[in-house]
């Protein structure tokens, strides 16, 4: 089988893929970029990923984009993890994959405003307030699901990996202490050897400068 190469930025959506590759025991080469140094806009990278986005996964003779598409392709093309045996299972799998991006888009908006818009450019306090409330709502929906089961679909699945980035990014904006089932779920995740290997390989992020950003700190 040809070489697998993951194009990656620490603590970004590509962490989802990094973790799943570890869970599936797929050998990969990691090419790490920084969102700040222009390397995602370099011609060499744009040849691989025309929109200059990560993750991009070179696998089976093609480059696959979109973290959710990569996860579904890995599940569909290899043994070990699957999208679901029945139509009903596949429905829930895909619904959670979509929901991860509903939540992911909120995190992206918060990242953009808190981290990448620098004074004197003005951020919108209203956007931060609305998006932080929406993030809380999505976490409450996960909390409800996880009070009934150990993992999002019952047994551990690739959907959990899809939330791997989300749940590392969310605590910068929302205190998770009120979500007890979610915290217990995170304890289970953090005990997985593949997760720990993925975190060890992730590299140092260079955009969060403090552990918590409150919406109300912005005027």
191 touching other proteins, by CB under 8 A = no
50 touching other proteins, by CB under 8 A = yes
Residue range at the interface with other proteins (CB under 8 A); choices 30-38, 46-54, 172-180, 185-193:
46-54
Structure tokens at 53: 């986005």
Q: How far is the CB of 90 from other proteins (least distance, A)?
A: 7
Quote the CA–CA distance of 6 and 187 in Å, as a whole number: 27
Quote the CA–CA distance of 110 and 115 in Å, as a whole number: 8
25 touching other proteins, by CB under 8 A = no
Structure tokens at 74: 């890995």
Of positions 4, 30, 34, 73, contacts other proteins by CB under 8 A: 73
Quote the CA–CA distance of 209 and 205 in Å, as a whole number: 10
Of positions 111, 113, 132, 157, contacts other proteins by CB under 8 A: 113
For residues 94 and 188, which CB has a smaller minimum distance to other proteins in the complex?
A: 94
Distances, alpha carbon 14 to alpha carbons 118, 146, 158, in Å: 25, 24, 14
Crossing angle (nearest 10°) for helices 180-190 and 125-148? 70
Q: Which residues of this chain interact with other proteins, rule CB under 8 A?
A: 50-53, 62, 64-69, 72-73, 76, 87, 90-91, 94-95, 97-99, 101-102, 105, 108-109, 112-113, 116-117, 120-127, 130, 134, 137-138, 141, 144
């Amino acid at each position: 089988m040809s070489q697998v190469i993951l194009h990656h930025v620490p603590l970004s959506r590509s962490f989802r893929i990094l973790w799943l590759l570890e869970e599936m025991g797929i050998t990969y080469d990691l090419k790490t970029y920084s969102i700040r140094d222009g390397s995602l806009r370099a011609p060499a990278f744009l040849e691989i990923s025309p929109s200059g986005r990560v993750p991009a996964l070179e696998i089976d003779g093609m480059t696959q984009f979109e973290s959710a598409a990569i996860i579904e392709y890995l599940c569909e093309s290899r043994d070990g993890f699957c999208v679901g045996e029945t139509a009903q299972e596949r429905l829930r799998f895909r619904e959670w994959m979509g929901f991860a991006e509903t939540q992911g888009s909120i995190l992206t908006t918060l990242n953009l405003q808190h981290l990448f818009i620098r004074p004197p450019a003005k951020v919108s306090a209203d956007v931060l307030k609305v998006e932080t409330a929406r993030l809380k709502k999505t976490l409450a929906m996960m909390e409800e699901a996880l009070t009934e089961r150990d993992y999002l679909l019952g047994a551990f699945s690739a959907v959990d990996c899809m939330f791997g980035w989300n749940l590392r990014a969310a605590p910068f904006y929302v205190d998770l202490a009120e979500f007890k089932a979610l915290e217990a779920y995170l304890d289970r995740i953090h005990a997985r050897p593949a997760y720990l290997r993925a975190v060890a390989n992730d590299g140092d992020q260079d955009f969060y400068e403090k552990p918590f950003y409150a919406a109300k700190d912005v005027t």
